[in-house]
Structure 1
Amino acid sequence: MAALGQQPFRSVQNQYSLLARDPEDGVLAACDELGLGLLPYYPLANGMLTDKFVPGAPPAEGTRLAKMPENRRGHWLGEEMVDRASAVHTFARSINTPVLTLAFSWLLSHPQVSSVIAGASNAEQIAANVAAVRALSPEVIAELNRLTA
């Protein structure tokens, strides 16, 4: 890139969340090797790591899952994915932490993750986003990894 007078790449964007961990199969290592940051998209797993997700219920109207084509929705609402999401929700409640905060904090625990781009539609979500900058304990990270690996 420099030979062409262009700036080198600084980051990559991949889907990455507690429920979509594909970047762990080489992308994170490549980021380390090349000095790139990762900007994860769908950090809340298409809404499954939000309070709008209710296991066994159809996706709430207006949510990303509800708007998703049926052929893609099946992947997210399959038994394994729902079980993993439910386990994260149960764990979040057990430690009195919003699932959104856990999801973002877990991503930020990876040094390759430069930032998590977060939206918010109410004050509660803003507070949960801000809380995500606090580091998770190694025990919490280990439990999230166990639940979602």
Structure 2
Amino acid sequence: MRLYGVTGWKNAGKTGLMERLVAEITGRGYSVSTVKHAHHTFDVDHPGKDSHRHRVAGAREVLLASRNRFALMHELREAAEPTLEVLLQKLSPVDLVLVEGYKRDRHPKIEAFRSETGNALIAPDDPTIRAVASDAPLDLDRPVFDLNDTGVIADFILAEVGL
């Protein structure tokens, strides 16, 4: 499975770039899935709903399904957070998996960067970052793209993964 990451610090534009890339790349006829890392507890379920009640009662997995989608919730309870590699095995085959976050993993990435945040670039110290998508000109040893030039960024990623 082809894999490419979008990384960067908080408020750097990662999610917006991911959203635009998914639309751009699927618009070109490729199938795309995404993985998003959350650094906090999250829930796709709501107290009072049947599926939430099942989980609270102790179910290890709850599969919630309708004619439009399904969601499999797996409670880790005391287990460690699964690695990206383990999570990727749970996805159906697609042309490309775009990963938001997982900045310390070794897959190739593009860094989203907004100068207004005041954060330092990650790229100079991370060889897995193959390019930077920025809202300001940068002098780097790798390609720098306009953060909003989705088509050019998509071209770069697709060339990188061989699509």
TM-score w.r.t. structure 2 length? 0.24
| Bigger fraction of residues in strand | 2
Structure index of larger Rg? 2
TM-score w.r.t. structure 1 length? 0.26
| Bigger fraction of residues in helix | 1
